[in-house]
Each structure stands twice: as structure tokens, then as C-alpha cells.
């Protein structure tokens, strides 16, 4: 599969994540005047590994799942990226996510390249034993490209610290000794890092704080809407509510959303979701759809679900002053144009949600050194890294009179391009 940098032609609202990623790359390349050869390198992943994953089901039957691991670019360091278990995983989606990881690591200025993995499955339909067997077999199949110096997975959609533990153990068994640095996002008991589980959400809050300071927005008087109440969305909502004094007026998950203009207590909503499996039906709130949620009047909108949520079809209905992209690729390039015309300040995904990969980097370093940091040290280093990254992107945005996404891509693509030029092309 050889891909060219996308043209400037507009996409339909149903554009795939890969089309969106290529269009975003093209915009940055045009701004930078990047040579065509480097554009072609960046438009194509370094390697794509497709595997079949046979699993013994509890009823004695055998089911074969499809899995992918993609390395987009490793010019700046080993490949880094999550593994997701989801029924709608596609190879193109994984390629796009790996590309976005390359840019995230470059924006954060950490020595990783971009990777991503996925298995086409519905983890909700699998027992714990089936999920473990699936994880271990997938790990075994992709182990030829894994390793602390080659490729370091992390949690993503429907994967968690337990899944990372199985990956680490399987890889370690192949090696004959423990290799904690082969994954990040694992439990503390086997070499995980303090603060990793909430790092993406906390980093998103730090980015919002920096943006609020730049825009003169007082967070303790701000209203917040969160789409997606998984790890990232719920953590971001909790910290904004409890530490920043913001008023969370609406949240949602895959089943729908809830709204209370007077404010919701995210911790109580979390308790309700754990009891019922959904945020809907929460007391003292109105049930709404995910599309209605995106249009609610608020100061800060946080799309923290899946890709392609804000498109040219609904962008004109967005009433937020600021969007902080907790998810990967929630806004299409055509929607970006509409939001820019409306004056909505967008903190792009490759800046807003880099907290996870930043603390994953800290965890990787701790694992290699066998020396561990306190939660306070991790959070303080994360805050510094987020503040510095935001400042760099905001400065480029102001200097070149471009939106924050274009500015972030300009920084990221330039850094990867410089590394590629210096290293050269072998042979």
C-alpha cells in the first residue's frame, strides 16, 4: 500500500481517519515548503504487520481474529503507541493513529516514533479468560517487532493495565526474563508509573489551563461539556471539577448523554455508570444524544470519544468557545475551517492528549533505569512538558497566523523532517 500526500480537495463528511491524517499532513507540508520526497516518506508507514489471532473460546470452539501493528516513523526513536480492541478496527484506521502518534511524540519533543495496534473484536463479548488468550496470542504474533528498543505498546480503546500485564508477561516469557519496559500503562506492582492511568486526562487539563490563561478565560467560572466518559473523558471532567472549580454540565458515553445546566458531579456520575453500565438515567439530569451534546452552549467542549465526531455537517452547531481534543482525530479538516471562521479556539489532539505518551515516556525511562518517581514528580514533570509544548505551538500559531492544529503539525513535521535529513536514507 503506497500512499500519496492528499490533495487539497475537500473530503466528504464520511472521510476515513487516514484521509483526514493525510490531509492534515499535507497542510503542514505546504506551510513548511517541505520537499516532495520527505512528504512521500511521511505519507507512508514504515511497516505494517497483519496477523491472524486464533483463540480457544470457552465453549471449545476456535475463533480467528484479525490484528494489526503499524510503525509509522521511527526517525526520532523506537515506535510508541497504544493497542485497541474494537469491532470497528481497520488497517487504515491503525495507520492513521500511528501517524498521529508520530506527530504527538514530536510535538512533546520526546524520543519516540509513532506506532499503533489493534485487534478486530468485541471485548465486551469475551470472557476474562478469552480476553487473556486473545491478548497473549496477539502479543506472540507481533513479538517479532516488539521490544524496549523497538516498539513499546500502551493501553488504548478497550485495553487497560491488565491487558498490558499480559503483554509484558508474554513477551518476558519469550525472552526468559522480565522486561518491564516493553509496555507502558501497566500496574505499579510490575513496574508501572505513578500517575500514568490518569495522565492523558490530566495532561488535557494542563493544556486547557494554558489555553484559558492565553484567552483570559477563568476556569472556575467556566462550563464544560465532555463527550466520552471513559478513562480520558472522566479523568478530565473530574480534575476540572475538583481541582479547577469548573462546572461540568454534560457528559456522554456510547449509549448517550446527560445534561444539567446547573452542573453535574463527575464522581457521582462515575458511580452511576459503574452500577448501571451507562451515564444515561442519572438523577437530576436530562438524557440527550451525543449529537445534541456537541451543540450545547459551553465554554469548553472536550470530545474524548472516537474519530470523526465534529464534521462540516455539524461544526456550525458547535457553541463552545474552546475545544480540547481528548480523542484522536475527532474533528475533520472541513470542520476545522468552519470552527476557525466561528472563532472557536481548538487545542488539537496532537497537543491536547499527549499527556498519556509523555508519562509513558517517563514510565519507559523508569523501567530502563529501575528507578521510580513519586506521583508528585510525575505530575510536575508532565505539567512542565505540557506548558512548554503549548507555548511552542501557540507561539508558532501567532507568528505564522495559523490555527493551533496547523501550528502543532508544523512543529512536529519539521522535527521529524530534521531527524530524517540528519540520519539520511540507508543505503
Q: Provide the annotated active-site residues.
A: 116
**Other residues' Cβ atoms within 10 Å of the Cβ of residue 161:** 18
Residue 209 near residue 219, CB atoms below 8 Å: yes
Give residues with Cβ within 8 angstroms of 248, minimum separation 6. 223, 224, 225, 226, 237, 240, 241, 263, 264, 266
Beta strands in 190-295 (DSSP E): 223-227, 247-253, 256-259, 286-288
With beta carbons less than 8 A apart as the criterion, state whether 315 and 294 touch: no
The number of helix segments (H) and strand segments (E) in the chain equals: 14, 12
In whole angstroms, how far apart are CA 422 and each of 31, 34, 72, 76?
Answer: 21, 15, 18, 11
Determine contact, residues 394/214, Cβ cutoff 8 Å: yes
Question: And the C-alpha cell for 104?
Answer: 504527538
The three cell numbers locating residue 273: 455508570
Amino acid at each position: 500500500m503506497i500512499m500519496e500526500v492528499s490533495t487539497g480537495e475537500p473530503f466528504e463528511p464520511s472521510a476515513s481517519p487516514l484521509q483526514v491524517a493525510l490531509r492534515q499532513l499535507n497542510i503542514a507540508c505546504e506551510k513548511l515548503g517541505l520537499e516532495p520526497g520527505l512528504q512521500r516518506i511521511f505519507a507512508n508507514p514504515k511497516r505494517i504487520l497483519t496477523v491472524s489471532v486464533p483463540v480457544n473460546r470457552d465453549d471449545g470452539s476456535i475463533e480467528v481474529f484479525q490484528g494489526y501493528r503499524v510503525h509509522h516513523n521511527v526517525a526520532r526513536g523506537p515506535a510508541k503507541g497504544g493497542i485497541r480492541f474494537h469491532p470497528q478496527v481497520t488497517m487504515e484506521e491503525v495507520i492513521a493513529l500511528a501517524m498521529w502518534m508520530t506527530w504527538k511524540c514530536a510535538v512533546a519533543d520526546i524520543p519516540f516514533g509513532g506506532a499503533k495496534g489493534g485487534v478486530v473484536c468485541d471485548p465486551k463479548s469475551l470472557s476474562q479468560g478469552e480476553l487473556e488468550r486473545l491478548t497473549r496470542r496477539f502479543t506472540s504474533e507481533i513479538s517479532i517487532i516488539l521490544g524496549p528498543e523497538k516498539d513499546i505498546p500502551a493501553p488504548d480503546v478497550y485495553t487497560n493495565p491488565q491487558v498490558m500485564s499480559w503483554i509484558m508477561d508474554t513477551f518476558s516469557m519469550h525472552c526468559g526474563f522480565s522486561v518491564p519496559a516493553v509496555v507502558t500503562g501497566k500496574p505499579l506492582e510490575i513496574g508501572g508509573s505513578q500517575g500514568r492511568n490518569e495522565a492523558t486526562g490530566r495532561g488535557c487539563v494542563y493544556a486547557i489551563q494554558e489555553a484559558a490563561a492565553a484567552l483570559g478565560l477563568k476556569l472556575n467560572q467556566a462550563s464544560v461539556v465532555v463527550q466520552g466518559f471513559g478513562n480520558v473523558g472522566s479523568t478530565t471532567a473530574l480534575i476540572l471539577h475538583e481541582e479547577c472549580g469548573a462546572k461540568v454540565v454534560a457528559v456522554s458515553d456510547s449509549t448517550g448523554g446527560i445534561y444539567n445546566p446547573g452542573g453535574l458531579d463527575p464522581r457521582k456520575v462515575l458511580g452511576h455508570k459503574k452500577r448501571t453500565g451507562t451515564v444515561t438515567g442519572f438523577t437530576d439530569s436530562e438524557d440527550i444524544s451525543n449529537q445534541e451534546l456537541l451543540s450545547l452552549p459551553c465554554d469548553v467542549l472536550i470530545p474524548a470519544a472516537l474519530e470523526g465526531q465534529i464534521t462540516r455537517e455539524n461544526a456550525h452547531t458547535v457553541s463552545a468557545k474552546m475545544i480540547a481534543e481528548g480523542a484522536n482525530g475527532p474533528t475533520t479538516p472541513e470542520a476545522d475551517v468552519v470552527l476557525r471562521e466561528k472563532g472557536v479556539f481548538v487545542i488539537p489532539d496532537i497537543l491536547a492528549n499527549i499527556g498519556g505518551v509523555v508519562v509513558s515516556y517517563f514510565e519507559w525511562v523508569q523501567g530502563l533505569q529501575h528507578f521510580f518517581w513519586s506521583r508528585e514528580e510525575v505530575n510536575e514533570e508532565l505539567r512542565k512538558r505540557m506548558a512548554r509544548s503549548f507555548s511552542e505551538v501557540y507561539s508558532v500559531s501567532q507568528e505564522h497566523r495559523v490555527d493551533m492544529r496547523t501550528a502543532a503539525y508544523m512543529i512536529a513535521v519539521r522535527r521529524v523532517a530534521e531527524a530524517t535529513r540528519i540520519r539520511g536514507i540507508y543505503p
